[in-house]
Chain A
Amino acid sequence: MWTWFYKLASPPYVFGVAAALTPWFFALAALAIGYGTVAGLVFAPPDYQQGDAFRIIYVHAPAAWLSLFAYTTMAVAGGIGLIWRIKMGHAVAAATAPVGASFTLLALVTGSLWGRPMWGTYWAWDPRLTSELILLFLYVGVMSLRPAFEDPARGDRAAALLSIVGVVNVPIIHYSVLWWNSLHQGATVAKIGKPAMPGSMLWPLLSMLLGFMLFYGAVLCIRVRGEVLNRERQATWVREAVKSR
Chain B
Amino acid sequence: MKVGVWEAFLLVLRRELALSFRRPDQLLQPLVFFLIVTTLFPLGLSVQLSLLRDMAPGVLWVAALLSSLLSLDALFKSDADDGTLEQLALSGQGLNVIVMAKTLAHWLVSGAALVLVSPVVGTALAIPEAAFGTMMLSLSLGTLTLSWLGAIGAGLTVGLKRGNVLLSLIVLPLAMPLLIFGAGATDRAISGASAAGALYLLAALCVLTCTLAPFAATAALRITLE
Contact = CB atoms under 8 A, between A and B. Distances in A.
A105 interface: no
Given A138-B173, A162-B170, A148 B160 contact: yes
User: For the side of the interface on B, what is the size category?
Assistant: 20 to 34
Interface stretch (A15-23, A153-161, A195-203): A153-161
A141 B173 contact: yes
Contact of A149 (B159, B180, B219, B220): B159
Interface string B135-164: 000000000000000001000110110010
Nearest to B180: A130
A101 to B, nearest CB: 13
A137 interface: yes
A144 B224 contact: no
Interface string B209-223: 000000010011001
Nearest to A164: B216
A144 B220 CA distance: 16
Interface in B147-202: 152, 156-157, 159-160, 163, 166, 169-170, 172-174, 176-177, 180
A148 B173 contact: no
Contacts of B172: 137
A180 to B, nearest CB: 10
A144 B152 contact: no
Interface string B17-33: 00000000000000000
Interface of A: 130, 134, 137-138, 140-141, 144-145, 148-149, 154, 157-158, 161-162, 164-166, 172
Chain A to chain B: the 9 pairs with minimum beta-carbon distance, closest first: A137-B173, A157-B223, A141-B170, A158-B156, A134-B173, A141-B169, A138-B173, A134-B176, A158-B223
Interface of B: 152, 156-157, 159-160, 163, 166, 169-170, 172-174, 176-177, 180, 216, 219-220, 223-224
